[in-house]
Structures are given as C-alpha cells and as structure tokens.
Amino acid sequence: MPSYTPMMEQFFQIKNQYKHCILLFRLGDFFEMFFDDALVASKCLDIALTARDCGQAERAPMCGVPVHAAEGYIAKLVAAGHHVVICDQVEDAKLAKGLVKRDVVRVVTPGTITESNLLEDGRHNYITCIYNGPRFYGLATADITTGLFIVTSLPAQDDNKLLDELARLAPAEVLIPEDFPLARVVENITGQRATQIPAWNFSSTSAFQRLTAHFGTFHLEGFGLSESAPETLAAGALLAYLAETQKNTLSQIATIKTYAQQTHMVLDIASRRNLELTADLHHRSKKGSLLGVLDRTKTALAARLPRS
C-alpha cells in the first residue's frame, strides 16, 4: 500500500495531537483543510470542496481559505461550535531545505477568542472551568482579553447554586472533567458544548505548581487559596488549558481573585430571565432589558461594568 506524501505525513503528525479540532494547515498563501475536516468545513463555510494527491489511491478531500482572510472563516467555525487549530509555517519557505517546518501557533475556541472585531461589545468573553469535588465544586473563570481571573467554591450537595452561577456568568466556553454528571445540564444552560478535559489536570500538585510558577510565588495564601482548595484545582486546570491553546505566557493574567456567592444576593435562572436584567424575554436582545435602559457608557471596556 503506498505511503502518504511527506507533506501529508507532516499533516497527520499534527492532526493526531488535535483529533477533535479542525486543523488549518498553512500551504503558501492558503490555510488548507483535509479529509473529514474539509468535509465539515466546506459545508460550514460554504466553500468549494476539492481534492489533492496524498500518496494514496484516492485523493484527499480538501478545501482552503486565504491566509489574509482567515480570521472571518475561523470566526464562523468557532461560532458553529468547532475548535480550530492554526498550523503555520515557522520558517521561510525560500530558505527551507526540503519540507517547510510547520507548527501549531494557536488553538481558537469560543472562550479564547481575542480579536475585538469577533467579540460582542460591552461584555466579557468568559471561559469557566468546573472542578467536581466530593464536598465542593471549584469554579474558575477567566477573560483573556482583559486578564480577569476569578475563583469561587460552591457546595456540591446543591447543584442549583452551581447552575445559577453559570447562568450569571454566561461563559462562552465551559471546561468540565471527563464523565461530569451534569454535563448535559451545563450545556443546556450555557448553550455551548462543554469541553471535557482529563482528570489529571485537576491534581492538587500540578495545579499548585502551575499557579505558583505563573504568578512567581512560593505559595497561594496571598491570593486567599490553599494548595488543595477546590478553587485552586479548577484554576490550575483552566490555566493549563489556556497555556496549551494560546501558546504564550498569558502575561495579561497578573493576579487571581476569590469571591463568595454567599456574600451576594443570588437570583436563580428563572428570576434573572423573567426580570429581563440583560436581555428581553421575546427577542433575547439587550434592547428592552434593564441593562439596555441603564447603559449609557461610551466604550466597550466601560460597558462591561454595568453588565457585571
């Protein structure tokens, strides 16, 4: 049986690390997608499906988008619920000896979009991670566009407290442990497919080491956290996920803040909806809601405050 071409072998080496994502593979002035990725993307983006010789008897399904216009296409894929891996050329093709070196430069998910033109003005683009502990849920939430990083814990015997908090945050993406029993309920509330991450991401040792290394501290007491606190485990897992997808130092996340649900008046999901705090009942839009009446801010940064 013929083997794949060297370029296609390179594609599979990277694709095997991101099996559940759509891989945009840089070839010259285009990002190309192959095989199942191409079949899915061509329908989602309404672009032509072609084929390319891959060293096998059958040609590989292929579709592509221009590099200079890729941002809009990536936004459509993410809005459709896909995670997108951007694999770029990491050396000058003119200077390459043999196959051009390529590597993943970023993974784009609903909660890790940073381009301002792809985000809704006036609201945080939250990504939230849930740790399912025996006595408490740990909740960590970040907005990588602003550097916000907040954590809390909620009693595990009352699932409604967790669900009410998720409804309040309205995160663009939720990370959950594998086999999380409330996965379907969480997805119904957020309207997004939850991202499952392996249980080892929530170990106290790895979470503590990840957080102290990032903040340059020897302990976490200054942030109001202990090594084995459920908030710490959620925060460590979230930071690991962000580092893996963004491929940078995340220097904008300079601190971590704790908060407690019991120090606030909590409105359940039904109350928040019926009071039309941030969206009207009929059109689910800001216009006609309490926020729409009160918000007279001039910038997107300022508009986040009354919503919060």
Cα separation, 111 vs 129, in Å, equals 11
User: Is the pLDDT reported for residue 299 higher than 90?
Assistant: no
pLDDT average, residue stretch 235-254: 94
pTM: 0.86
pLDDT average, residue stretch 252-278: 87
Judged by average pLDDT, the poorest of 10-14, 27-31, 35-39, 299-303 is 299-303
Which regions of the chain carry the CATH code 3.40.1170.10? 6-108
CATH architecture of 6-108: 3-Layer(aba) Sandwich (3.40)
CATH topology (fold) of 127-266: Nucleotidyltransferase; domain 5 (3.30.420)
Which regions of the chain carry the CATH code 3.30.420.110? 127-266
